[in-house]
């Protein structure tokens, strides 16, 4: 034992850095679980509700449940005292500033934060206590090493991130051992008093912290030296003082012992029996002998201890036992090892299901023991070799680095979403409601499914490794962590479905019409299958911030593919994945793709899991970004985008490996459209694979061939639009005032007067990216008044250039004015269709309220289309859009309205034909009078005379988007070229003017040439006959 010396300046700075590191790790992750509105530690509700009861004055609360009545609540009392002190300070500050004094009473979530910050503060102070303990009893080197190891201890970091009592119990237990060492060294009465106080506080915080009584008794007996001194008057007096203070403090910290002593003692004894009863363990072990129980407990807990402490440090702690069990044991080692050994023999052996943070009672002392071993020579100091000292230093550095990596993962890894939430979101998009759900504990909860399967099917959410009994198809696995600090969170969930009338274990997907997932989860579990909505598809709108996803797999990716399908506006898109990054300038409707071999994993690494970071951003327009990890995914994407030459080899390989007739049909369709010449063997093989498609006539034959019934896919959501998402012309918005007394939901109403006008009213959906194939449309409508005759509506599918790709007439039955009716229709999209909108035009003068529009793929009709297309000779592929041009305008007008760019659907247009124009705005001032502004686009001949033009109100252009300021907004208009204009090149002029005075707005900044307060686009529009 060395005498204490003052720390040098560099040592003080080193200690400060260690404390700052521990402070950052402990306070940096206090927001864990708050993004999920979840608390996964079962002790948290007990602790917080107890604080609420104590603040209300209810100190004696009995439920009849042992887990609550026998639970120690001293940590809750400490938080109660903090809140009462805070209330006094709060009232004093109010009185000081002269405002009415009110009572400060924190609510549940404020207590949630208070308890976490309290735990983080105690965990940070514990670093200083451990430093001083090692410094007083060994030397500064051991003190710095122990403080560093505790600062980066992952178990201690995770413990203070829960609103529980484990950190507080470890704090009091370490303080007790700290004063036990002072009892051994100094023997002062105040050391006995403080040791008894902290031992009682630890016991009342967590009962197993009462094991600190052993190092106290050992310190007292070792100080005496012989048994004669143990029974001396002074020794017995000190023991009596220790006992009296300990008992008195226990009564104060556990008030129920004063009021219901016998019942509380019985509850505590029963509580110990319950937590060591091997609940949740197999019956054969639970009712077996002690040897079987201890073997099971060690088999489970020893790997956890090695993980949270580190294998090298565990080895050092074992080597240090020689100072305890040698012929002349070191008294300091005996006191230091007393609590860890007793905890190991009782806590670890008799409580097999303890979670890792439960072991923080002994981790500070274990790190002190490891620090002593690795900072002091094993033999005589003069025999200590320099290389051996360097080796010990290297072991400490490596161990600290490994602990820091795990602790940092504990802080940053939880930014990912919860396993249960991700699994629930996937289930609600990929499992139809007619299925029933069997959900195991700690998976998730949902009310989406029916109470019974009704013969349709069952979905199982299993949290155990083994599959549920019976024959099941594994649909998806959600697993984010291999080793978890909190056993209640991120439990692996495996989703199974039984072999039912709708699904077989060997199912394959018959259609490849896809839509981006709408769950909003930042984590993508890339295993299993997704049906209609895919998490690996991002439909991007122009935004200032990128969209970021984390992709997790149980195996590493050998190759990944990325595809970008641009919208109808010239765009700038940036995509990053697996260590690669691309920034692309894309023309309208352009498609690019590339492969990423051996993509790089993201940080932090997780054993048994491969994490990848996916980031995408569109700057000026819409774009679809696809991540593919299987050939059929990228092949289907390229086929839908019209890139048949690149799609063929991928679809061919996927069809050969999966034996999917639909993939073989898509590959065959690529051959003539891409002008490919393939070997007869390849062609014959694809024809044989696609042959089963010709046998599909109904749902039964579809399930026989693909293993999945069309009803399964028809019951899933694809595109569902509420009325407030529509844009309308000649219609009005109404709300449910009669039912709710407030405007709860806007609906589009077509009034009889408006329906009789010319042009008739129209309802337009937002821009949609729909893949080729057949679709059904469901309209949920009612009448503004009761109608007696059927009504006619007209549905058209138009791209942004005004080209019609599908049209159908809808007949609405007689409508009720109180009940909604669902009306169905269908349309078919041809190959290589760009972005589209659905236009609904009423043809009958009657009031109709449109509540919802839903679009779904028609599986049987799409299969029939595949058969018919294969049977017909190939026709030349229609271009996705006529030749178009884009111009980056980036012009700021007076008042702050910025016109970013302008896109014309055609560079050459015939007289009398429509011309689609997309305006790309950014609003930068919230006080602009948009209702008094109009954008004008003039077409001038070679003499500078305006021949034809289009003027559009800015508010009308932007009304569908309800934009927030500083967000880019795209608006679309169609200009009809007059039939009488002369052919030739026309210069395009664009500007803003006021509607009331026709005054043109001044241009503040623009890279383009200007004339008469209008910007001149360098590319002309050519008009032909």
Look-up: residue for tokens 């003017």? Answer: 993
pLDDT of residue 168: 94
Q: What is the pLDDT of residue 466?
A: 75
Hey, CA dihedral for 209, 211, 216, 219, is it positive or negative?
negative
Query: For residue 786, which of 841, 847, 852, 734 has the smallest C-alpha distance?
Result: 847
- Tell me which residue of 640, 567, 982, 619 sits closest to 801, measured CA to CA: 567
44-53, 278-287, 948-957: least confidently modelled range? 278-287
Cα 143 from Cα 123, distance rounded (Å): 17
**Is there a common fold for 537-628 and 885-1024?**
no
Residue 588 has what pLDDT? 86
State pLDDT tens for residues 556-605.
999 999 999 998 888 999 999 998 999 999 988 899 999 999 999 887 67
Give the mean model confidence (pLDDT) for residues 810-819: 87
Higher pLDDT: 817 or 537? It is 537
pLDDT-above-90 percentage for the chain: 31
Q: What is the mean pLDDT of residues 508-530?
A: 87
Q: What is the pLDDT of residue 543?
A: 85
The pLDDT of 867-885, averaged and rounded, is 57
Query: Over the chain, what is the mean pLDDT?
Result: 83
> Would you state the pLDDT for residue 742?
39
Q: For residue 179, is pLDDT > 60?
A: yes
C-beta atoms surrounding 791 within 10 Å: 23
What pLDDT is attached to residue 967? 45
What is 900-914 written as a DSSP string? EEEEES-SEEETT-E
Q: State how beta strands 458-462 and 436-439 pair.
A: parallel
pLDDT tens digits, 843-858: 776 778 888 899 999 9
**8 Å CB contact between 705 and 692:** yes
Strands annotated E in 446-492: 458-462, 472-478
CA-CA-CA-CA torsion sign (83, 89, 91, 97):
negative
* Of 781 and 919, the one with more pLDDT: 781
Buried b (16+ CB within 10 A) or exposed e, 987-1024: bbbbbbbeeeeeebbebeebebeeeebbbbbeebbebe
Note the pLDDT tens digit of each residue in 1-36: 444 678 888 889 999 999 999 999 998 877 766 666
3-class DSSP state of 711: helix
Q: What share of the chain is helix, strand, coil (3-state, %, to 5)?
A: 40, 25, 35
Question: Of residues 725 and 510, which shows the higher confidence score?
Answer: 510
Distance CA(1021)–CA(679), nearest Å, equals 46
Condensed to tens digits (0 to 9), the pLDDT of residues 364-414 reads: 999 999 999 988 765 455 556 677 778 888 888 999 999 988 888 777 765
For the stretch 209-237, pLDDT in tens is 889 999 999 999 888 776 667 778 888 88
Residue 202, pLDDT score: 93
DSSP string, 178-247: HHHHHHHHT--HHHHHHHHHHHHHHHHH-GGGGGGHHHHHHHHHHHH-SHHHHTSHHHHHHHHHHHHHHH
Q: Spell out a b/e string for 826-855, using b for 16 or more CB atoms within 10 Å of the CB, else e.
A: ebbbebbbbbbbbbbbbebebbbbbbbbbb
Give the strand order in the sheet containing 436-439: 436-439, 458-462, 493-498, 472-478
- CATH number for the domain running over 885-1024: 2.60.40.770
| Higher pLDDT, residue 149 or 224 | 149
> What ranges do the domains of the chain cover?
9-163+279-411, 417-498, 537-628, 630-717, 725-871, 885-1024
Cα 572 to Cα 274: distance, rounded to the nearest angstrom: 63
Question: Which tens digits make up the pLDDT trace of 921-977?
Answer: 776 665 566 667 888 888 888 878 888 787 776 765 554 333 344 445 666 677 878
pLDDT grade, residue 881 (50/70/90)?
A: very low
Q: Residue 493: its pLDDT value, please?
A: 87
* Fold (topology level) of 725-871: Jelly Rolls (2.60.120)
The architecture (CATH level 2) of 537-628 comes to Sandwich (2.60)
Q: How confident is the model at residue 518 (pLDDT cuts 50, 70, 90)?
A: confident
What pLDDT is attached to residue 200? 94
Task: Provide the pLDDT for residue 173.
Answer: 95
pLDDT score at 49:
87
Segment 1013-1022 shows an average pLDDT of 81
pLDDT of 278 above 70 = no
Per-residue pLDDT tens digits for 239-250: 999 999 999 999
Q: What is the pLDDT of residues 658-702, one digit of tens each?
A: 999 999 999 999 999 888 888 888 888 999 999 999 899 889 999
In this prediction, residue 101 has a pLDDT band, given cuts at 50, 70 and 90, of confident
Distance CA 369, CA 379 (A): 16
Alpha helices by DSSP H, listed for 888-1020, are 954-958
Percent pLDDT > 70 in the chain is 86
What confidence tier does 745 reach under pLDDT thresholds 50, 70, 90? very low
Per-residue confidence (pLDDT) for residue 724, from 0 to 100:
77
What is the band of 796 on the pLDDT scale with cuts at 50, 70, 90? confident
Rounded Cα distance between 353 and 367, Å, is 23
Q: How far is CA 520 from CA 421, 527, 577, 601, 760, in A?
A: 11, 18, 19, 22, 38
Q: If pLDDT is split at 50, 70 and 90, which confidence band does 140 have?
A: very high
Span 90-101, average pLDDT:
87
Q: How many of the other CB atoms lie within 10 Å of CB of 544?
A: 10
Return the pLDDT at 243.
92
pLDDT one-digit tens code per residue, 752-770: 655 555 556 778 888 999 9
8-state DSSP, 830: -
Predicted confidence (pLDDT) at residue 441 exceeds the cutoff of 50: yes
Mean pLDDT of 884-907: 76
Model pLDDT, residue 277: 58
Report, as an integer, the average pLDDT of 292-308.
81
* Chain Cα centroid distance, residue 929: 39
Answer whether residue 776 shows pLDDT above 80: yes
> What integer is the mean pLDDT of 281-298?
72
| Over residues 970-998, mean pLDDT | 81
Q: Taking the chain, what is the end-to-end CA distance rounded to the nearest angstrom?
A: 103
**Range scoring the smallest mean pLDDT among 63-67, 119-123, 613-617, 810-814:** 63-67
CB 278 within 8 A of CB 286: yes
pLDDT at 388: 74
pLDDT of residue 876: 42
| Least confident interval from 383-392, 406-415, 821-830, 872-881 | 872-881
Task: Please list, in sequence order, all residues whose beta carbon lies within 8 angstroms of the beta carbon of residue 87, skipping any fewer than 6 positions away.
Answer: 103, 104, 105
């Amino acid at each position: 034992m060395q005498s204490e010396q003052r720390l040098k300046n560099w040592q003080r700075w080193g200690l400060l850095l260690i404390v700052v590191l521990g402070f950052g790790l402990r306070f940096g992750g206090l927001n864990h679980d708050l993004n999920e509105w979840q608390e996964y530690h079962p002790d948290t509700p007990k602790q917080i509700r107890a604080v609420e009861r104590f603040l209300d004055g209810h100190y004696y609360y009995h439920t009849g449940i042992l887990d609550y009545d026998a639970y120690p609540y001293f940590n809750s009392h400490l938080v109660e005292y903090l809140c009462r002190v805070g209330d006094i300070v709060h009232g004093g500050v109010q009185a000081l500033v002269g405002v009415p004094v009110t009572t400060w009473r924190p609510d549940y979530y404020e207590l949630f934060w208070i308890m976490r910050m309290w735990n983080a503060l105690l965990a940070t102070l514990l670093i200083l206590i451990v430093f001083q303990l090692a410094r007083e009893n060994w030397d500064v080197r051991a003190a710095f090493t122990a403080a560093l190891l505790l600062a980066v201890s992952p178990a201690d970091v995770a413990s203070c991130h829960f609103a529980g009592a484990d950190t507080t119990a470890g704090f009091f237990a370490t303080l007790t051992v700290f004063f036990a060492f002072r009892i051994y060294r100094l023997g002062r009465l105040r050391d006995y008093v403080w040791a008894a106080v902290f031992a009682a506080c630890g016991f009342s915080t967590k009962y197993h912290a009462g094991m600190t009584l052993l190092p106290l008794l050992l310190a007292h007996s070792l100080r005496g030296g012989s048994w004669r001194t143990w029974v001396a008057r002074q020794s017995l007096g000190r023991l009596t003082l220790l006992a009296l203070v300990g008992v008195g403090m226990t009564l104060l910290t556990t008030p129920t012992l004063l009021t219901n002593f016998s019942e509380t003692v019985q509850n505590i004894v029963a509580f110990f029996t319950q937590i060591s009863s091997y609940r949740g363990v197999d019956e054969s072990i639970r009712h077996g002998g002690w040897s079987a129980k201890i073997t099971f407990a060690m088999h489970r807990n020893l790997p956890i201890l090695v993980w949270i402490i580190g294998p090298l440090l565990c080895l050092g702690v074992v080597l240090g036992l020689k100072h305890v069990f040698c012929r002349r044991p070191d008294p300091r080692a005996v006191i230091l090892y007393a609590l860890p050994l007793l905890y190991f023999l009782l806590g670890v052996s008799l409580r097999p299901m303890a979670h890792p943070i439960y072991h923080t009672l002994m981790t500070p002392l274990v790190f002190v023991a490891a620090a002593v071993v690795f900072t002091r020579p094993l033999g005589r100091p003069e025999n200590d070799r320099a290389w051996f000292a360097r080796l010990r230093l290297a072991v400490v550095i490596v161990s600290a680095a490994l602990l820091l990596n795990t602790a940092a993962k504990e802080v940053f890894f939880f930014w990912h979403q919860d396993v249960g939430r991700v699994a629930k979101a996937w289930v609600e998009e990929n499992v139809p409601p007619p299925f029933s759900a069997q959900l195991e504990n700690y998976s998730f909860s949902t009310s989406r499914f029916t109470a019974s399967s009704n013969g349709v099917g069952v979905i199982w959410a299993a949290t155990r490794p083994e599959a549920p009994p019976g024959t099941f198809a594994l649909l998806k696995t959600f697993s984010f962590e291999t080793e978890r600090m909190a056993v209640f969170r991120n439990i692996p969930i495996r989703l199974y479905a039984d072999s039912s009338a709708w699904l077989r274990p060997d199912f394959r997907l018959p259609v490849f019409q896809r839509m981006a997932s709408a769950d909003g989860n930042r984590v993508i579990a890339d295993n299993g299958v997704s049906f209609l909505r895919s998490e690996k598809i991002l439909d991007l709108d122009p935004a200032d911030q990128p969209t970021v996803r984390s992709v997790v797999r149980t195996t590493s990716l050998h190759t990944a593919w990325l595809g970008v399908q641009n919208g109808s506006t010239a765009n700038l898109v940036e995509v990053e994945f697996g260590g690669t990054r691309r920034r692309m300038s894309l023309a309208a409707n352009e498609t690019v793709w590339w492969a990423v071999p051996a993509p790089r994993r993201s940080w932090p690494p997780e054993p048994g899991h491969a994490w990848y970071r996916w980031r995408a951003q569109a700057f000026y327009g819409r774009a679809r970004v696809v991540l593919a990890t299987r050939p059929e995914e990228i092949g289907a994407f390229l086929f839908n985008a019209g890139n048949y030459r690149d799609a063929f080899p991928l679809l061919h390989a996927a069809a050969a490996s999966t034996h999917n007739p639909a993939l073989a049909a898509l590959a065959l369709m690529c051959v003539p459209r891409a002008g490919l010449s393939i070997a007869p063997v390849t062609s014959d093989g694809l024809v044989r694979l696609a042959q089963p498609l010709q046998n599909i006539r109904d749902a039964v034959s579809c399930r026989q061939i693909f293993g999945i019934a069309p009803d399964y896919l028809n019951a899933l959501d694809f595109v569902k639009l509420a009325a407030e998402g529509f844009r309308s012309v000649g219609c009005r918005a109404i709300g449910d005032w009669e039912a709710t007394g407030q405007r709860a939901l806007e609906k589009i109403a077509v009034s009889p007067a408006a329906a009789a006008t010319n042009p008739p009213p129209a309802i337009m959906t937002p821009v949609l990216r729909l893949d080729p194939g057949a679709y059904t449309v469901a309209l949920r409508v009612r009448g503004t008044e009761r109608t007696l005759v059927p009504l006619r509506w007209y549905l058209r599918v138009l791209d942004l250039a005004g080209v019609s790709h599908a049209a159908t007439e809808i007949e609405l039955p007689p409508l009720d004015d109180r009940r909604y009716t669902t009306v169905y229709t269908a349309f078919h999209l041809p190959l290589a269709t760009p972005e589209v909108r659905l236009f609904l035009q009423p043809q009958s003068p009657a009031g109709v309220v449109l509540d919802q529009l839903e679009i779904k793929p028609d599986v049987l009709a799409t299969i029939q289309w595949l058969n018919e297309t294969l049977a017909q000779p190939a026709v030349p592929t229609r271009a996705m859009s006529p030749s178009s041009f884009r111009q980056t305008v980036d012009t700021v007008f007076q008042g702050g309205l910025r016109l970013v760019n302008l896109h014309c659907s055609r560079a050459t247009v015939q007289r009398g034909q429509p011309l689609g124009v997309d305006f790309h705005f950014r609003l930068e001032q919230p006080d602009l009078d948009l209702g008094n502004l109009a954008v004008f686009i003039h077409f001038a001949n070679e003499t500078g005379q305006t021949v034809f033009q289009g003027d559009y109100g800015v508010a009308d252009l932007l009304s569908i988007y309800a934009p927030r300021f500083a967000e880019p907004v795209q608006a679309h208009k169609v200009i009809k070229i007059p039939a009488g204009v002369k052919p030739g090149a026309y210069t395009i002029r664009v500007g803003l003017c006021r509607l009331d005075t026709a005054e043109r707005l001044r241009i503040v900044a623009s890279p383009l040439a200007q004339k008469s307060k209008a910007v001149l686009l360098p590319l002309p529009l050519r008009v032909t006959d």
